């Protein structure tokens, strides 16, 4: 059969772009179809603008702290959301241009429009254009869920929040995952009164419990009013405002409510059913380790799959898939030790299993901890704390996990992830001379375990509510 392209990628987000460029570099003829802005969720309405908002919030902290370092700041500093919004719009536009140029420079054809799969090798774009493809890659990402709680569809999503030109005076955040805690923390630092409603007893389900406890404390210290075990039963529109109705029927109204109750894969309307590919109940496309769907030449990567939903994973998957299809040998991405960050203030960096997960996997653990007031903020009398935790297998001495909440945690943990990938032991940490004065040096100065825990001690706390 004659194909126009060796690969047609649907979705020009981080994963789709990475796969397409790598495939083109390997000599494949590649087209990428995009119905919105090139760059996808991460660049246009996710990680990048979110981090720019967190930076804006951190500047507020820096201004407040500066006086303690001897600075005299005349007048009252104030944050203007509209100015941030303009600067953010310019930056995402710049990045979009860069991505368009990168696609062009790599020889990938950008086809703008909505794609629909019409057959094993056929992708229709809009009404006019039909692309014949040897392989199809679905990289359409995800979108906020809109049916988690009755009435949640009335609430704003992170997309809406990032497009505000004026901050609300008061806001409710529903959920306690990545998006909820990052935006709750940033908004509070920018002067918004924030109430966070969630159903578990602690935020960030799935993270190490010692981090979760400290994340809750940091959110509270940052001014967020926490409501654990209190996800609303329903949300009702009341004129311009939204009523959050609690399980006991009590209500509280807000002018702005953020729906941070998760995201759902973008599979609706793609035409997958024409190939017999049935998305999971979550909407995700199930793929095997080589990112193949149940249809032979249809592949999927990133947030549209049931695997780990993080931008760098989508990029790694995209490159691995291109190598497998057009390179010398098939390749898989190892997801067993993916580091991640949560950009609370201060942020979280984490790699490897939580203590609960490591115990459940049968490890006898030596747990090393440090919990201290960091130099920069202790100097000005702040009560902010940094927390670090090393999980070490008592039998092999391998460092299984590093969990940290504190300034620069994502940067520190990214570097340590290399050591863990290389199989570092606690003896390697002990043999490493510290860089002084840093917070990170504590991680190579931990000598005595805070506790040794037997595998049987693993207890998974049941969720509240």
Q: Give 164's contacts (C-beta < 8 A, 6+ positions apart).
A: 81, 85
Question: 28, 155, 219, 231: which one contacts ligand NDP (CB under 6 A)?
Answer: 231
- Nearest-approach distance from CB 51 to ligand NDP, in angstroms: 8
- CA-angle at 154, arms to 153 and 159, nearest 5°: 75
227 carries an active-site annotation: no
- Nearest-approach distance from CB 175 to ligand NDP, in angstroms: 3
Residue 256 or 343: the one with the smaller Cβ distance to ligand NDP is 343
Residue 175 found at the interface with ligand NDP (CB under 6 A): yes
Task: Decide: 210 and 387 in contact? Cβ < 8 Å.
Answer: yes
Binding segment for ligand NDP (CB under 6 A), chosen from 1-9, 192-200, 212-220, 367-375, is 192-200
Binding segment for ligand NDP (CB under 6 A), chosen from 27-35, 132-140, 169-177, 373-381, is 169-177
For residue 201, how many other CB atoms are within 10 A of its CB? 18
- Ranked by CB distance to ligand NDP, the top (closest) residue is 177
Residue 259 found at the interface with ligand NDP (CB under 6 A): no
Q: In whole angstroms, give the CA distance from residue 95 to residue 43.
A: 7
Residue 327 or 353: the one with the smaller Cβ distance to ligand NDP is 353
Residue 261 or 386: the one with the smaller Cβ distance to ligand NDP is 261
Question: 149, 186, 243, 390: which one contacts ligand NDP (CB under 6 A)?
Answer: 149
What tokens does 175 get? Answer: 């959920």
Name the phi and psi angles at 66, rounded to 5: -60, -35
Residue 114 or 148: the one with the smaller Cβ distance to ligand NDP is 148
Residue 178 found at the interface with ligand NDP (CB under 6 A): yes
- Nearest-approach distance from CB 348 to ligand NDP, in angstroms: 9
Q: Environment class of residue 462 by beta-carbon count within 10 Å: exposed (0-12), middle (13-18) or buried (19+)?
A: exposed
- The residue whose two tokens read 């990032």 is 162
Question: 168, 177, 265, 346: which one contacts ligand NDP (CB under 6 A)?
Answer: 177
- Nearest-approach distance from CB 303 to ligand NDP, in angstroms: 7
Task: Decide: 372 and 433 in contact? Cβ < 8 Å.
Answer: no
Binding segment for ligand NDP (CB under 6 A), chosen from 173-181, 288-296, 330-338, 361-369, is 173-181
Question: 260, 287, 301, 453: which one contacts ligand NDP (CB under 6 A)?
Answer: 260
| Exposure string for 73-103, b = 16+ CB within 10 A, e = fewer | eeeeeeeebeebbeebeeebeebbeebbeeb
Backbone CA torsion sign across 170, 264, 341, 351: positive
Task: Decide: 124 and 114 in contact? Cβ < 8 Å.
Answer: no
Residue of 322, 331, 329 lying closest to 26 (CA atoms): 322
Residue 405 found at the interface with ligand NDP (CB under 6 A): no
385 DSSP 8-state letter: -
Residues 52-91 that bind ligand NDP (CB under 6 A): none
- Interface with ligand NDP (CB under 6 A), residue total 25
Side-chain half-sphere of 159: how many Cα atoms within 13 Å? 11
- Nearest-approach distance from CB 340 to ligand NDP, in angstroms: 5
Residue 140 found at the interface with ligand NDP (CB under 6 A): no
Residue of 267, 184, 256, 283 lying closest to 225 (CA atoms): 184
Residues 291-350 that bind ligand NDP (CB under 6 A): 309-310, 340-343
- The residue whose two tokens read 């649907």 is 10
Task: Decide: 143 and 266 in contact? Cβ < 8 Å.
Answer: yes
Site map (CB under 6 A) of ligand NDP, residues 195-224, x = contact: ---xxx----x-------------------
Q: Which residues bind ligand NDP (CB under 6 A)?
A: 148-149, 175-180, 182, 198-200, 205, 231, 260-263, 309-310, 340-343, 463
Q: Which residues are identified as catalytic?
A: 436
């Amino acid at each position: 059969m004659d194909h126009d392209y060796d690969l047609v990628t649907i979705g020009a987000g981080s994963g789709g772009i990475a796969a397409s460029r790598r495939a083109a570099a390997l000599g494949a003829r590649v087209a990428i179809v995009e119905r919105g802005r090139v760059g996808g969720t991460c660049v246009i309405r996710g990680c990048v603008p979110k981090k720019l908002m967190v930076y804006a919030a951190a500047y507020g902290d820096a201004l407040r702290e500066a006086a303690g370092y001897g600075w005299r700041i005349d007048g009252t500093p104030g944050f203007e959301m509209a100015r941030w919004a303009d600067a953010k719009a310019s930056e995402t536009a710049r990045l979009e241009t860069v991505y368009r140029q990168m696609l062009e420079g790599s020889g990938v054809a950008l086809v703008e429009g909505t794609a629909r799969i019409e057959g094993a090798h056929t992708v229709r774009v809009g009404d006019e254009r039909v692309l014949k493809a040897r392989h199809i890659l679905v990289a359409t990402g995800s979108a906020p869920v809109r049916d988690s709680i009755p009435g949640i569809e009335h609430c704003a999503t992170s997309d809406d929040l990032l497009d505000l030109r004026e901050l609300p005076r008061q806001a409710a955040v529903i959920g306690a995952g990545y998006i909820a805690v990052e935006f709750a923390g940033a908004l509070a630092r920018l002067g918004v009164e924030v109430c966070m409603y969630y159903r578990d007893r602690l935020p960030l389900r799935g993270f190490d419990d010692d981090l979760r406890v400290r994340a809750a404390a940091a959110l509270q210290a940052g001014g967020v009013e926490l409501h654990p075990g209190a996800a609303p039963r329903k949300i009702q529109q009341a004129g311009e405002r939204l009523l959050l109705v609690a399980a006991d029927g009590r209500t509280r109204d807000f002018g702005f409510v953020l729906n941070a109750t998760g995201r759902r894969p973008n599979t609706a309307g793609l035409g997958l059913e024409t190939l017999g590919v049935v998305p999971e109940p979550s909407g995700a496309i199930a793929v095997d380790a080589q990112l193949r769907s149940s249809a032979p030449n249809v592949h999927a990567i990133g947030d549209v799959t049931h695997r780990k939903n993080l931008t760098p994973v989508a990029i790694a998957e995209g490159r691995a898939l291109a190598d497998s299809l057009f390179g010398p040998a098939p390749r898989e991405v190892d997801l067993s030790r993916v580091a991640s960050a949560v950009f609370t203030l201060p942020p979280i960096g984490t790699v490897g299993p939580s203590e609960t997960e490591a115990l459940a996997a049968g490890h006898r653990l030596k747990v090393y901890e440090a919990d201290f007031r960091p130099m920069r903020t202790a100097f000005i009398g702040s009560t902010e704390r940094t927390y670090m935790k090393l999980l070490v297998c008592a039998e092999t001495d391998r460092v299984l996990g590093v969990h940290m909440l504190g300034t620069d945690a994502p940067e520190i943990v990214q570097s340590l992830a290399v050591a863990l990938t290389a199989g570092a032991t606690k003896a390697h940490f002990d043999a490493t001379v510290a860089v002084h004065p840093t917070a990170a040096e504590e991680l190579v100065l931990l000598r005595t375990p805070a506790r040794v825990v037997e595998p049987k001690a693993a207890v998974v706390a049941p969720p509240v509510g």
